[in-house]
Amino acid sequence: MNREFAILSAKLRKLSLVVYWLILDWLLAPSKRILCSSCDWDETSTRFAPWFKYQISFKDFATVASFDTYDIVIPISSDAYLALPEFLKCDPRLVSPNESTFHLCNDKRRLFDQLIELGYRDLLPIFTENEFPCLLKPLKNFNSNGVQLIENEAQLEQLRGRDDFHEHMLQAYIPGEVELASHILIRKGKIRHAWAIEYSFSEEHPINIQNCPKLRRIVRDPFLYIWEELLNRIDFDGICCIDYKPFQGSPKLLEINPRIGGSFREYAFSFFRYL
């Protein structure tokens, strides 16, 4: 019964937030023409379209003849960002970080090395030899594709023999049944809008997306003050999705996706008022 109540509560919270955001948009948001890169989100992202003040289009950026007719341009994927014309990567209409920061966030090893240099080592799940379980992650991946749980030294040694092992990195596995995806819009050094999707799992060693959560709900992120400082240190301006796990009272950063996260796709419209 407690789980059923939690699920019902999460659904009611979701409904109330959607209604609240839509009302605010109608009262305060100007009408805008928004171009998003085409993806499999199209239907989900526009499920509330009849109530939008925005005109949203999903197109393959490589086929767009002119970007001049759009007020806002949002790449949904890394490939879409790379397909942008060079002039648009410095255009204020683009809701993405600069090219250098984009590539930094898109490479987990480079990102972690940079964050360690900046003094954020304690926020990172640093792998220590002989501590298991741990995770093997592709340096560049989407969702949890290619992420593997390693339970012992024998498994790790077997994986070290792979030809593509150098294209992966090892992370400590952070225990706990809760993981969060924090969706953040930061502009000119300040977080303008942010909500998180909290996942609760029943498995002993869950990997988000590979395992289905027992509960999924929208929550406020209590660590926004940390993320604002960190994002400013790496010169991030735009929309991102920060994946992390809470551990002993602080967050352990798993990755920073330099784009809107898939878990927030049906609520992505809530960002538009702040652009």
Residue 1 confidence (pLDDT): 47
Q: Which of 49-63, 74-88, 232-246 has the lowest mean pLDDT?
A: 49-63
Residue carrying structure tokens 């920060």: 242
Greater model confidence, 105 or 27: 105
pLDDT of 181 higher than 70:
yes
How many residues are given for the chain? Answer: 275
Give dist(CA 170, CA 134) in Å, integer.
7
Asked whether residue 44 carries a pLDDT value surpassing 70, the answer given is no
- Give 137-152 pLDDT, tens digit per residue: 888 776 667 788 889 9
Q: Which residues contact 52 (CB under 8 A, 6 or more apart)?
A: 25, 46, 269
pLDDT at 95 over 70: yes
Least confident of 5-9, 81-85, 122-126, 249-253: 5-9
pLDDT band at 234 (very low <50, low <70, confident <90, very high): very high
Q: What is the pLDDT of residue 12?
A: 84
pLDDT at 254: 94
For the ranges 4-13, 221-230, 259-268, the one whose mean pLDDT is highest: 221-230
* Contact assessment for residue 104 and residue 143, using Cβ atoms and an 8 Å cutoff: no
CA angle 230, 235, 236 (to 5 degrees): 75
CA 76 distance to own-chain centroid? 11
- Under the banding of pLDDT at 50, 70 and 90, the label for residue 46 is low
Quick check: 241 pLDDT over 90?
Answer: yes
Average pLDDT rounded to a whole number, residues 222-242: 97
Mean pLDDT of 165-179: 91
- Given this model, what pLDDT does residue 182 score? 96
**Which residue is it, tokens 């950063």?**
253
pLDDT grade for 214, boundaries at 50, 70 and 90: confident
Alpha helical stretches, state H, the chain? 2-28, 42-45, 78-82, 99-105, 108-117, 153-160, 224-233, 269-272
Residue 71 has pLDDT above 80, yes or no: yes
pLDDT band at 273, cuts 50/70/90?
Answer: confident
Alpha-carbon distance 141 to 118, whole Å? 24
> With bands split at pLDDT 50, 70 and 90, how would you rate the model's confidence at 212?
confident
> Left if phi > 0, otherwise alpha if psi is -120 to 50, otherwise beta: which for 209?
left
* pLDDT computed for residue 50 by the predictor: 64
- Which residues contact residue 221 at a Cβ distance below 8 angstroms, ignoring those fewer than 6 apart? 180, 182, 184, 194, 195, 196, 227
Strand arrangement, sheet containing 168-172: 148-150, 134-138, 168-172
Q: What is the DSSP letter of 167?
A: G
Q: Give pLDDT, residue 79.
A: 85
CB 55 within 8 A of CB 33: yes
Assess whether pLDDT exceeds 70 at residue 240. Answer: yes
- Provide φ and ψ at 106, rounded to 5°: -85, -5
Q: Taking Cα atoms as reference points, which of 72, 115, 117 lies closest to residue 236? A: 115
- Whole-angstrom distance, CA of residue 136 vs CA of residue 154: 14
Cis peptide before 133 (omega within 30 of 0): yes
Place of tokens 């240099």: 117
**Neighbouring residues of 79: CB distance < 8 A, sequence distance ≥ 6:** none
Residue 43: predicted pLDDT: 62
The DSSP bridge pattern shows strands 215-219 and 178-187 to be unpaired
